[in-house]
Amino acid sequence: MELTFNSNDDGYMSNDNNHNKTQSNDKSKLSLPDLDACMERLKAVSGQTHNVSALRWLGLSNTTYANWKRRQVNYGALAKGLLARGISLDWFFAPNVDLRYPGPDELPRIQEVAETYTSTQRTQRVIRAIERIDPVLQEHQLPATESNRAILVETYFTARRGFVPLPTALTQVTKALKQEPDRD
């Protein structure tokens, strides 16, 4: 499904009909939530009881609801506001969909890591990860071997705000089990 977000910095849609095209003509089983569903989810996450106050909580103007009701939901402005508040777009737009997250081996690593982190920054991040990992190993009475640490450091870095995708978790547990001698 291809999503096109058409918004400018203030959250309003352009009046240019060529610029305001709806989603592509691709047939998709998934659709974006309508205005009512967006407002219910937004009120739930914001703790607000009124549509306008929920949109204001998101950083949008008082006239946004009326504009969206007259035209269509500006999903770009909505996504921008949700991300600014740290709200998961997965939860908001596809709460009951089993989404697939790309694994570390599917992402361009070498160039991305080289551009994002210097060697020193990476080393500091690994040291901080090990400082959190070693107490966990100790708590579970496991030796702090390099292989145990490596598995947990890899898991630590693939975790996303306390969430590790199921395939990654299963892979990490499998690696750990391979290294453990049979107990039979």
The whole-number pLDDT of residue 88 equals 87
Judgement on whether residues 93 and 115 belong to the same structural domain of the protein: no
Residue 148, in any domain of the structure: yes
The whole-number pLDDT of residue 73 equals 93
Judgement on whether residues 72 and 112 belong to the same structural domain of the protein: no
What would the two tokens of residue 4 be?
């096109």
The whole-number pLDDT of residue 114 equals 54
CA dist 43 and 54 (Å) reads 6
Judgement on whether residues 61 and 113 belong to the same structural domain of the protein: no
What length does the chain have? 184
Judgement on whether residues 72 and 126 belong to the same structural domain of the protein: no
Cβ proximity of 136 and 159 under 8 Å: no
Judgement on whether residues 66 and 151 belong to the same structural domain of the protein: no
Judgement on whether residues 12 and 91 belong to the same structural domain of the protein: yes
Count up the domains in the chain and report the number. Answer: 2
Residue showing tokens 């890899």: 154
| pTM for the structure as a whole | 0.47
Residue 154, in any domain of the structure: yes
What would the two tokens of residue 181 be?
């001698």
What would the two tokens of residue 56 be?
């204001």
* Structural domain for 19, as ranges: 1-99
CA dist 57 and 36 (Å) reads 17
Residue 92, in any domain of the structure: yes
Judgement on whether residues 92 and 1 belong to the same structural domain of the protein: yes
For each of the chain's 184 residues, which pLDDT tens digit applies?
Answer: 344 444 444 444 444 444 445 544 445 566 889 999 999 999 999 999 999 999 999 999 989 999 999 999 999 999 999 999 888 898 898 888 877 777 666 666 555 555 555 667 778 888 888 898 888 888 888 888 888 888 888 887 777 556 677 677 767 777 776 776 554 4
Residue 184, in any domain of the structure: no
The whole-number pLDDT of residue 108 equals 62
Judgement on whether residues 74 and 158 belong to the same structural domain of the protein: no
The whole-number pLDDT of residue 91 equals 86
Judgement on whether residues 62 and 152 belong to the same structural domain of the protein: no
Cβ proximity of 153 and 130 under 8 Å: yes
Judgement on whether residues 81 and 45 belong to the same structural domain of the protein: yes
Choose one of 43, 67, 99: the last residue of a domain.
99
Judgement on whether residues 8 and 77 belong to the same structural domain of the protein: yes
What is residue 72's three-state secondary structure? coil
